[in-house]
Amino acid sequence: MKASYAVLLLSAASFVHGQDEGIVIQPEVDSVAMFKNGMTVVRASFEAGKPGDHVWIDPPKAVHGAFFVESGPGLVIRSTTRMMKPDGPAFPTGNLQRDLAGAIVSVSLGSEGGKLGETVTGKVWAVPQPERIHWNTDYATTEGRHYGAYHGSPPGRAAAITTGSWLVLESGDDRRFIAMSRIGQVRVAEEAAEPVTEPRAVMVFSAKEAGKVQLTYLTKGMAWMPAYRVDLLAGDRLRLRQTAVVRNELMNLEKTWLELISGYPNIKFAHVDSPLGAQATLAAFFQQISQQGGGQAGVATQQVAYNVLSNRASEAVFPLPRTDQGAPAEDLHHEGIGRHDLLEGDSLSLEVASAETSCERIVEWRVPDYRDDRGRLQRNRERKDADEPWDAVQFANPFEFPMTTAAASVLQGKRFRGQSMATWTAPGHKASIRINKALTVRGEHSEVEEEGKREIIWIAGQDFQRTVVSGRLKVSNARPRAVKM
């Protein structure tokens, strides 16, 4: 079959009553590849058994520009909303008007002293859905400095009709409004003849011919958290183990191929929801796309220390990565961990790799620089623990794939020695992991300007004084053996 890309249509304002139009499908998830920041690449497919409409109920929310469909020629996709019965039992929402819609009830009013007063019987009025939505097309007013500046309904979509603090009953042609604060008891005499329906997002695939439909989309909801265990062995050897915890808040997965992506991706529109979603509005879309991924605060919580996405990305848009194990993608790496069952809300922990290699114990001292980029002394700079000498272990990455940035715990003789952070390291390249502070090795440093004439020089329009400075480093070792700095 010759593959072609589908035409995507958006019809978020439509309400189609009934759910027997078209063949209901649930695409089978073929593979999931996840980043460490919650961005998830999903590949799914379904078989269009015959020409016609195929309906996907409650499709996931995709990232703008990252929902792709491959199928036979002429496939058209329409996103819409339909009034449907809930899949399972209708759980109480606390809104009597909605929970009891269509039921015949007896409402006893409360009175002073806690006794029940007058009883009113009637049918709970079913609040109608609006036939037409009035959209907010003043898009300039939806702009804000931070994504998520609006609350409740997305800008441009009308809020649901409610009865406020009143319970409305029907009896014949009469309609009675009862204040919620006066209700002492509600008894259901007869259940509603028609079950309560609710608006559900659907995606309708209109196929002109039978065949397989392949979906690839970028969404949010799964992430993996790596960790390393470093066992110090005798004879300057160590064993390095990489483990991963996979958290699934996306969907139920059954025997699905999972892949872990490490690296530092650039996904320009990760903060923008696709307008193909049935709940999308142009106002919300324009608000999100005018932002820069949540501002600097978003970057602070997703820093490179965990190799996660900075939405303040530079120019190029990163394409959806391949979901093949070990697929080369420059500095992005895919590591397959097999097929697993994972329900929504579940977590999975497993060992990714383990290897033994030679190592070297050192004392690491990163001498701090108390001057700014213009050479001026920062007198108020506080001395930090990171400026002190630390016991560390150096080794070459023994894996066939890069080490990723993650927590690293060091053990020796099954005793816990400390926890630090491993950083991204290419295969065969040297990694250094701190163990604990070297209290018996002290380091001192100083710099003194030598006497002499100060010469004025100009660099890039700035004047500087050329001086001669003598620096001094002093290391004191109180251990009974020599150490390598």
Mean pLDDT by 10 residues, the chain (485 residues): 48 42 91 95 94 93 94 90 77 83 89 79 84 75 47 49 86 87 89 80 92 95 97 95 97 96 90 89 88 48 38 36 48 94 96 96 88 71 74 96 95 94 94 94 86 85 84 92 91
- Report the distance separating Cα 385 and Cα 434, nearest Å: 12
Q: Please name which of 29, 44, 57 lies closest in space to residue 342, comparing C-alpha atoms.
A: 29
Q: Report residue 185 as tokens.
A: 């008891």
Within 8 A by CB and 6+ apart from 57, the residues are 19, 24, 26, 84, 200, 201, 202
pLDDT recorded at residue 386: 66
- Which two tokens mark 465? 């004084």
Q: Give a yes or no: residue 109 inside a domain.
A: yes
Output the pLDDT for position 191: 86
Task: Encode pLDDT of 410-438 as tens digits.
Answer: 999 989 999 999 999 999 999 999 999 99
Does 421 reside within a domain? no
Residue 3 lies in a domain: no
Instruction: Report which secondary-structure segment, H or E, holds 144.
Output: none
The reply to whether 107 falls in a domain is: yes
Amino acid in position 409: S
Measure the CA angle with vertex 413, ends 408 and 415; round to 5°: 60
Strand pairing category for 333-342 and 253-262: antiparallel
Average pLDDT, the chain: 82
Matching residue, tokens 């030598």 = 450
Q: Which two tokens stand for residue 93?
A: 């929402």
The predicted-structure confidence for 160-181, as pLDDT tens digits, reads as follows 677 888 999 998 888 889 998 8
Q: What is the pLDDT of residue 260?
A: 96
For residue 101, being part of any structural domain is answered with: yes
| Beta strands 7-17; 76-84: pairing state | parallel
- For the CA atoms of 301, 304, 307, 309, the dihedral, rounded to the nearest 10 degrees, stands at 60
Residue 235 in any domain: the answer is: no
Residue 153 lies in a domain: yes
Please tell me the total count of domains within the chain: 1
Return the pLDDT at 11. Answer: 42
Q: Is residue 70 left, alpha or beta, with left meaning phi > 0 and alpha meaning psi from -120 to 50?
A: beta
Check if the beta carbon of residue 162 is closer than 8 Å to that of residue 127: yes
Between the alpha carbon of residue 75 and those of residues 4, 51, 126, 208, 265, the distances in Å are: 8, 10, 38, 6, 31
Which structural domain range is residue 113 located in? 96-192
pTM: 0.76
pLDDT at 382: 65
Residue 125 tokens read as: 């009025």
Closest CA to 233 of 359, 351, 355: 359
Decide: 37 and 308 in contact? Cβ < 8 Å: yes
* Per-residue pLDDT at 14: 38
Report yes or no on 183 lying in a domain: yes
